[in-house]
Amino acid sequence: MGAPGFWDHPEKAQLIIKQVKVINATLKPYQELRGRIDDLNALAELCDEDESLEAELEKELAQTESTLHDFEMQAVLNGPQDDANAFLRIQAGTGGTDACDWAEMLMRMYSRWAEQHGYGVEVVDLLPNDSAGIRNATLRIQGDYAFGRLSGETGVHRLVRISPFDANAKRQTSFAAVDVMPEIDDTIQIDVKREDVERQTFRSGGPGGQHQNKTESGVRLIHKPSGVVAESRSERSQHKNEENCWRMLKAKLFRLEEQKRRAEVEKKYDEKGEVSWGHQIRNYVLQPYTQAKDTRTGIETPQVHKVLDGEIDPFIEAFLQQRVEQAAKRQVSS
C-alpha cells in the first residue's frame, strides 16, 4: 500500500485494502490480547507483594477473558466469504396470517440485532401480507463478517403462542424460513450467462406509493438452468432493482454451489448423511411458558422476548463453535 502508484489502479487498490482489513481484524485483536496477558502477568507478580491489588487483578482478568472470547469467535469466522455482507431472506411458511406476522417479527429481530452490532440494514425486497405481517422480505446486512455471523441462521424457525388473530384465543404454531447468502464482490467470479437468465418486470404494489403501483419498477431474474429466482421491488428505479437482483442472483448461485460441496463432505463423514440446512433449527415459545431453544446446539433461554429484541448472540456463537468442532472431527476421520 505504501508503494508509489498504489492508487493508479483504484479497483485493484480497493481489493488490497479489503484484504488488509480482513488480516487486521485478526492481527489487531491478537496483539491486544497478548498485551493484556503481559499486563496481567506483571500485575499478578505485584499482587504477591501487595494484596490490595487483587481487586484490580480480578477486574483485568474479567476484561481479558472477554477479549479472549471475542478473539476466539473472530478466529472461527475463517470461511471464504465469512467477512462479506449478507443477504437475509425471510419467507412465511404454514400458519396463514400468523405465519406472516411471525415473518415480520423475525425481520424485526434480525434488524435489531444488526443495529446493535453497528451493521447497516437495507430492505431490498418486501412483499406485505394483505391482512397483517409480510409474506417475504430480503434484507441486506452491511458490515464486517455479517455473513459469517448470520450463516447459521439458515433454516426453519418455529413460533408457538396464543394467536392474536384467533377470536377463540387458541394456541397457534407458525413457521418461517430464513435463508442467508453472502454478497459476492468482484474477487469472486460467478459465471452467469445472460441468455440463461429470464428477466421479468412487475408492478411493485404494496404500500410503496403511487409510483410503485403504476409503473413496473419491480424486477425478477430467473436462472433457467437452476431455477434460482431473485426479486427486488424496494427501489423506485427499475435499474436499481435490477442491479439488486443481479447481486442476489449471484449470491444465491454461489451459496447453491457451496451447499453441494458441503453436502458431499457431510455425506462422506457423517453416518446420517444429512445436511442440516433447511430443517427446523429453533423454537420460540411464548405460551404456555417462555423459551427459545436451538435444536442443533441445545442452547436455550427463558428470555424469549429479549431474543426477539435481537439478543441472538448466544445462539450464533454456539453454532459457530459447533461448526468448528464438527469440522475438526471430520478432519480426524479423514
- Model pLDDT for residues 77-96, shown as the tens digit of each residue: 877 788 889 999 999 987 78
- Grid cell 391482512 is found at 131
Class of domain 194-257: alpha beta
Of 301 and 26, the one with more pLDDT: 301
Whether residue 315 has pLDDT greater than 90: yes
The pLDDT value recorded for residue 24 is 83
Q: What percent of the chain has pLDDT over 70?
A: 88
- Model pLDDT for residues 252-289, shown as the tens digit of each residue: 888 787 777 556 544 433 333 332 334 689 999 998 89
Is the pTM higher than 0.75? The answer reads: no
Every domain of the chain and the residues it spans: 6-76, 86-185+275-333, 194-257
Enumerate the H helices of the chain as residue ranges.
Answer: 10-49, 54-76, 96-116, 146-150, 210-214, 238-269, 304-308, 313-333
The pLDDT value recorded for residue 217 is 81
C-alpha cell of 153? Answer: 441462521
Using H for helix, E for strand and C for coil, what is the string for 250-268? HHHHHHHHHHHHHHHHHHH
Of 208 and 293, the one with more pLDDT: 293
The CATH topology of domain 86-185+275-333 is Alpha-Beta Plaits (3.30.70)
Average pLDDT of span 101-129: 94
The pLDDT value recorded for residue 16 is 85
